[in-house]
Structure 1
Amino acid sequence: MISRTKKSVRLLVVLSFYFFLPFSCIDKLEFLEDKQEVQLVIYGLLTDVNERQVVTVSKTSAIGLRPMEIRDARVSLLTASGDRFRYVHNGLGEYFLEGFAALEGESYAIEVLLEDKVYRSNYEKIPELLADDVISFEFNKEPFRTEAPESVFTVNSETTLPNSTDPIYLRWTVEETYFWPLVYLPGTGFPPPPPPPCFISDVIEPNRLNLFDGSGSSTRKGNFALAKRLVDNSFLYPFFVSVKQLSINREAYEYWEKIEAVINNQGSLFDIPPASVYGNISNVEDQNERVLGYFEVAKTKVTRIYTTRADVPFSLVDPCQYFQNKPEDSYAAECKSCEARAQGRSWTNDAPDWWEFD
């Protein structure tokens, strides 16, 4: 019988890949032995949207710690027709391909060169089908992080499958972007220009997997709760939600389904043992080396909705409200700095291109 400690250790090794992901063909589950070893983790998502395409490269680290970022890899996108596109490293273990969109009918793979070793994924094509999402939101009082009712914001989708007999496999991610004005402290004499506002972004419930297998569905429509978060003062100003629907192939769906099964496994005696889930990336010259991660190519659609303070049925307090005689040093750091407010989330002073609301 496997001890609870060993079960926890094994599960954390699996999750070290999953929690490193930025807002995914397997034949079987491979089980870890008791001895933990450092493993390479590669994840890439390529979409048909003209956007920044990202690959992350890391290695598993000590239990309970984030994966170790790899900063000296050479990452390329390969096409079956012979083209090669080089990713640019951002210094933090992420590699970017700016302004690139995958084309229907073409097959793509990623190649990672590291320490004189070559790692390559299977070639993947973009699926042809997308579903229609009607995105909505609601505010409720319900248990979320605790057993007591809390103020909760929920993102929902009513999804209609395409009129086709071909199978469709879907995955959704949900990202928030909200406006945060810094306090304007004019001081004495000539007033300085007001500070530029903050636009802060983050994935809502990054550890949540939203999956749907439409291949055997008997209904054309489905209703899904895609993300939840607590209501706080982020909703004082315009708050956008971007829902990205990813249409993926069957192998990618099965990969994420196995990741989900491992995450949900609580170590019961009747559950399957925690496992490392291996994807479609391997060492070209050493097939015995186990590589974690996946390279997926997805047909993609992004739907955006937004809320304003008028939509929120709960009381919100502005911690940065300006008062004429209030000393400057009495304002919290989040009132004077976008970085302090973001607390590690992505932020910019420039509004996104799509930032429009009535």
Structure 2
Amino acid sequence: MKRILLLLGFVFFSLGCAEVIELENDRIGGQLVIFGRITNGGDGNIVNITRTQEDGQAPLDISGATVVVVDENGNREQYVEIGPGTYELNRSLVVGQVGGTYHLEVMVDGKLYTSSLQEMMPAIADDELRFEVDINEDISPTGASTRENVIRVFATSTFQTLPEEFYLRWKMEEVYTTFGISLPRGNFPRYTPQQCYVTNELSAQDIFLVDGTAVRNVELANREVAVRKMDFSFERKHYFNIIQFGLNEESHEYWKKLQSITTRQGSIFDVAPAAVPGNFTSSDPEEDVFGFFEASSADTTRVFTTRNDIPFAFVDPCQVTREEFFLMTRVPFECLSCLVEEEIVEAECLFCSLLPNSSLRRPSYF
């Protein structure tokens, strides 16, 4: 059985040249990094907390933190940890609104980290997405010509008004369903295949920013925002979402610095390549803390493909041969672990929730 490959598309999106900001990199790891936001909707109210490691090592997720958002009226609500280092706001006491002001308080290992006060600004562009089925031609490292079937996604953003000053950021993501494999019912009567929803960010290496003070056109037209190689994930409904965030000037400046770094170094989720000043301070005046908490309105536009849009057939990476099916019936009764240990089935094919970025929670728009 071949191992499942999650293929992320390359993303290309250009909204102007960013100034290259040179930053010193003398860190050896151990710094806390807090990324998070509150929005005016039910999605995106997430805080991620990690600690940097030595060069070449992935950041360490920080569990057990106390994360509280405070609004201008003193209302407080704690984010709930939904996964290692990931915290979500239920919006039962604090609900983000355009024009409101908010700050974040995070307690980790007895230290308090506090963000600056953030005002929520509006998202003012109307976005539209479309896609095309295409063939991507390239040259491999060995000099061979390659061809692969891809989906290209294009965005057009229209401004009904052009304020003198505004700042926007966009994020691209894909969402699709996947299922656990079916097993012989007589041998595994209590096994029920999972249905999972996989969400992959397609803009981790590209930060899409607009400084409204430099925009005088009422339309940013037909920009290619994602190129995704087609695979079995397109056998069912496959969403592409573009999420527009309204930023204040402080938030825009922070993302602009990250934009300069990721253009040269890679994803914002990689090991921090430089000390990027954010808007958090520590109760320990000697400690540096990275990251940013923003209050940003969010507006999502979606387009989806169905099987009818894709003129190709794909092989299910969890498809079993007749021989493998026979071997399933020979393992001990209901021994799921035997299927994995004897390399008959991949664990991710049994339980799709093991796939990166997958969830059993069904998005409201599916």
Q: 1:158 aligns with which of 153, 156, 159?
A: 156
Counterpart mapping for 1:214-229 below 5 A? 214-223=212-221, 224-229=223-228
What residue in structure 2 maps to residue 74 of structure 1?
A: 66
8 A contact 1:245–1:301 mirrored in 2 = yes
Q: TM-score if structure 1 supplies the norm length?
A: 0.77
What residue in structure 2 maps to residue 290 of structure 1?
A: 288
- CA offsets, 1:87-139, max 9 Å, x none? 22345112221146302232100011233332211111111342100111122
Structure 2: distance between partners of 1:181 and 1:71:
29
3-state SS, counterpart of residue 241 of structure 1: strand
Q: 2:52 aligns with which of 43, 53, 60?
A: 60
Structure 2: distance between partners of 1:153 and 1:281:
40
8 A contact 2:103–2:293 mirrored in 1 = yes
Structure 2: distance between partners of 1:145 and 1:131:
38
Question: How far apart are 1:241 and its partner, in Å?
Answer: 1.9
3-state SS, counterpart of residue 327 of structure 1: helix
8 A contact 1:130–1:300 mirrored in 2 = no
Aligned partner letter, 1:142: N
- CA offsets, 1:146-197, max 9 Å, x none? 5733322222210002313232222112222212244444545998897353
3-state SS, counterpart of residue 215 of structure 1: helix
Kindly indicate whether residue 365 of structure 2 is the aligned counterpart of residue 354 of structure 1: yes
What residue in structure 2 maps to residue 25 of structure 1?
A: none
Counterpart mapping for 1:1-358 below 5 A? 31-32=23-24, 34=26, 36-51=28-43, 53-90=45-82, 92-99=84-91, 101-143=95-137, 146=140, 148-187=146-185, 195-223=193-221, 224-265=223-264, 275-284=274-283, 286=285, 289-320=287-318, 327=325, 329=327, 332-333=345-346, 334-339=348-353, 342=355, 344-348=356-360, 351-355=362-366
Structure 2: distance between partners of 1:145 and 1:298:
41
Aligned partner letter, 1:88: V
Question: How far apart are 1:32 and its partner, in Å?
Answer: 3.1
Aligned partner letter, 1:339: S
8 A contact 2:123–2:246 mirrored in 1 = yes
Structure 2: distance between partners of 1:145 and 1:176:
26
Is the alpha carbon distance of 1:216 and 1:114 closer, same or farther for their aligned partners in structure 2, counting shifts above 3 Å? same
Question: How far apart are 1:321 and its partner, in Å?
Answer: 5.7
Structure 1: distance between partners of 2:250 and 2:312:
43
8 A contact 2:180–2:352 mirrored in 1 = yes
Is the alpha carbon distance of 1:61 and 1:144 closer, same or farther for their aligned partners in structure 2, counting shifts above 3 Å? farther
Question: How far apart are 1:77 and its partner, in Å?
Answer: 0.5
Question: How far apart are 1:275 and its partner, in Å?
Answer: 3.9
Question: How far apart are 1:143 and its partner, in Å?
Answer: 4.6
Is the alpha carbon distance of 1:232 and 1:190 closer, same or farther for their aligned partners in structure 2, counting shifts above 3 Å? closer
Is the alpha carbon distance of 1:229 and 1:117 closer, same or farther for their aligned partners in structure 2, counting shifts above 3 Å? same
Number of corresponding residues: 317
Structure 1: distance between partners of 2:84 and 2:249:
31
What residue in structure 1 maps to residue 16 of structure 2?
A: none
Aligned partner letter, 1:180: T
Question: How far apart are 1:30 and its partner, in Å?
Answer: 7.8
User: Percent of counterpart pairs with the same letter?
Assistant: 30
Q: TM-score if structure 2 supplies the norm length?
A: 0.76
What residue in structure 1 maps to residue 17 of structure 2?
A: none
Is the alpha carbon distance of 1:144 and 1:132 closer, same or farther for their aligned partners in structure 2, counting shifts above 3 Å? farther
Is the alpha carbon distance of 1:257 and 1:48 closer, same or farther for their aligned partners in structure 2, counting shifts above 3 Å? same
3-state SS, counterpart of residue 150 of structure 1: strand
Structure 1: distance between partners of 2:192 and 2:83:
32
8 A contact 2:152–2:227 mirrored in 1 = yes
Aligned partner letter, 2:293: F
3-state SS, counterpart of residue 252 of structure 1: helix
What residue in structure 1 maps to residue 335 of structure 2?
A: none
Structure 2: distance between partners of 1:284 and 1:189:
58
3-state SS, counterpart of residue 199 of structure 2: strand
